[in-house]
Amino acid sequence: MNRITGVLFATLLATLPLILSGGGTAEAKKMMAPKTASVSTAVTPAILDAVGAELERAMARMRIPGAPAPYFIGYKLTEVDVHDVVASLGSLIDESDRDLVSLEAHVHVGSYDKDNSNFVASRRENLDGNVIVPLALEASPRRARRSAWIATDAAYKEAIGQWQAKGEAIASGASGGNSNVASYTKTPPIVMESQVKVPLLDDNDSLGRKAMAVSKAFRDFSFIRDSRVAYTSFLENRWYLNSEGTSATDTRRVEGVLIVATAQASDGQEISLYFSRYAYSAAELPSIAELQAEAKSIAARLKLMIDAPVIENYTGPVLFEGEGAVGIVRHTLATHLTATPPPVGISSTDALLAGKLAGRKGMKVVSALLDITDDPTTMRVATSKGMRHVIGSYRFDDEGVAPKRIDIIKKGKLAELPMSRTPSAEQGQSNGHARLSMPGGVFRGTVTNLQLSSKKKSSNKQLRKALLKEAKSQGLPYAIVIKQFDDVAITANTEISRLALYQILQSMNSQAPPQATLAYRVYANGKEELVRGVQLDPVDMRSWRNVIGVGRDSTLKNFLASTDDAFGARLIGRGTGRVPSAGIESSISTPDLLFQELDIRATKFGLRPKALIPPP
């Protein structure tokens, strides 16, 4: 089989086509000018040789009498380097420099037609043929091979147990999955052994100076109870090889900054606002001066929210603008865009990972105004502010498959969904979109560079006019505009006691999108009124058929799609408040969206007694 040469291939996404061709524009060459990261010392050519040799030995010799042999083994070696800082009111409150290396072994037994995967064993949910072990930062080939041996042995034994439990469950009539469809698809091997360097990460001293400078902006606002500014600079090197002959390496590099501030409304409700940006490099993040201005803008809006009214229950048209449009796409549409079938034996909660569009190819699933694509191969997208980098690009997915651009929806009709190597009756082949791990030892096809567009576009003024016209036709005195949703991965910290918070969260609808943090009533004369406590009811796919207006300009948001449970994240909190660096690198580009009718309920989430004396 092919193996990765030990030379690190770090994917410089912004210049990939130029690198492959050997040429490039002056702009592209300039982008490569900054100092670049050195070749990894954690995963060397000798280590990759050793791991590859162990893979071949395991395929040839690993057997349990009377049990099926492995027909597929995959290894993923991951090296993560993360620099984090957090500052508040001009002082550094947290910093971290983390370096981690791991080896993951993934084993399938049986055959492509029928294997152990895509099954969740009752009371043994972790039985999935997938085992991760740590590696030393500068491991020897001997030690790396021993780690691969240990991981593969454990993964094979798990796969056998999963195979047996799956057979028993199917024989007893367990639901889920597709027992009459192949278990796993074979894909052509890919070999990517070239080296492309990425810019060096920012060190903690540099990040700390910036965070402290920006966080000073909150010093003059005594009504703010808590504020922080955090930076992160991280990269993830991946090496992937499997028994089919794939041998590839990739690097994902991201810079991030967030600003968060919390206050308390006049009735005692906690209110938070945030600003977050992820980019390919530090040069693409806002400057210190721009971030200081953003911090002051957050403070000004928070001050207005202190006395802003809580919205009444509402049913009517809603316009999502800017990041509000990104949020409604992220939380109510993107989650359903997958063709990967649910595992056999999956719980009712995890069954939601299967999405709601499977089996609807060719049918109208959203408004005919909308076209939707996902393109992990693109490095930039057009926005109202020019071309911007997206961070959801990659060279191969988590199953070693090269990604393809796919047209998901054309004029409202479903064309093709993101797919992994676990086939369905409708889609039999992977299109290189396996990025989200699922119970049962498989990956779910998911979107990472999602783009919404329309042939019929309206200016913001036209959308506002259509919004008010629709509200009038429904007999409403005002309409609602939402400009931002909460992000639990950023704002989960709270002063509410753990017990009280648990009780509150238990009563909330887990299927509803996050609470809107920035929302307005808009009246017939165009006047805007800031409101709080805005909670949308669950927005099902049927609601997406009632999009009646699409904006002209698009908003791009890079983010990390957290795999953590929102309930648990809210309950545990965010600690010192570092920039989230765990999740799937993703982006959404979307114009403003006008929905004909949605339901909104008033919420007093975060209500607690006010302080007894004024702030110092």
179-190 pLDDT, tens digit each: 578 999 999 999
pLDDT in tens, 139-167: 899 999 999 999 999 999 999 999 999 98
DSSP for 288-301 reads: HHHHHHHHHHHHHH
Among 32-41, 440-449, 591-600, the range with the most confident prediction by mean pLDDT is 591-600
- In the block, which residue shows the tokens 């006047």? 527
Query: So what's the pLDDT on residue 34?
Result: 46
Query: So what's the pLDDT on residue 170?
Result: 80
Answer yes or no: is pLDDT of 28 > 70.
no
Answer yes or no: is pLDDT of 545 > 50.
yes
pLDDT in tens, 507-523: 566 788 999 999 999 99
Query: So what's the pLDDT on residue 31?
Result: 35
Q: Give the range among 100-114, 230-244, 383-397 with minimum mean pLDDT.
A: 383-397
- In the block, which residue shows the tokens 């400009």? 483
**Amino acid (1-letter code) at residue 260:** V
- In 221-269, which ranges are E strands? 226-242, 247-264
Query: So what's the pLDDT on residue 196?
Result: 58
Query: So what's the pLDDT on residue 268?
Result: 92
pLDDT in tens, 60-71: 999 999 999 999
Residues of the chain with pLDDT > 90, as a percent, come to: 69
Query: Rounded to an integer, what distance in angstroms lies between the CA atom of residue 456 and that of residue 514?
Result: 29
Q: Are 426 and 415 in contact (CB under 8 A)?
A: no
Is pTM beyond 0.85? Reply is yes
Averaged pLDDT for residues 379-408: 92
CA distances from 116 to 148, 335, 427 (A): 21, 26, 20
> Pairing relation of β-strands 70-88 and 226-242?
antiparallel
pLDDT in tens, 329-362: 999 999 999 999 888 877 666 666 667 898 899 9
pLDDT in tens, 419-430: 999 999 889 899
pLDDT in tens, 525-544: 999 999 999 999 999 999 99
Collapsing DSSP to helix, strand or coil, 580 comes out as coil
pLDDT category of residue 39 using cuts at 50, 70 and 90 = low
Q: Are 302 and 263 in contact (CB under 8 A)?
A: yes
Query: So what's the pLDDT on residue 231?
Result: 97
Answer yes or no: is pLDDT of 46 > 80.
yes
- The mean pLDDT value of the chain amounts to 87
CA distances from 177 to 155, 170, 180 (A): 22, 10, 9
For the chain, which residues make up each domain, given as ranges? 13-201+235-254, 308-616
Which residues, in sequence order, are bridge partners of residue 559? 586
Among 80, 81, 71, 75, residue whose Cα is nearest residue 47: 75
Averaged pLDDT for residues 584-594: 96
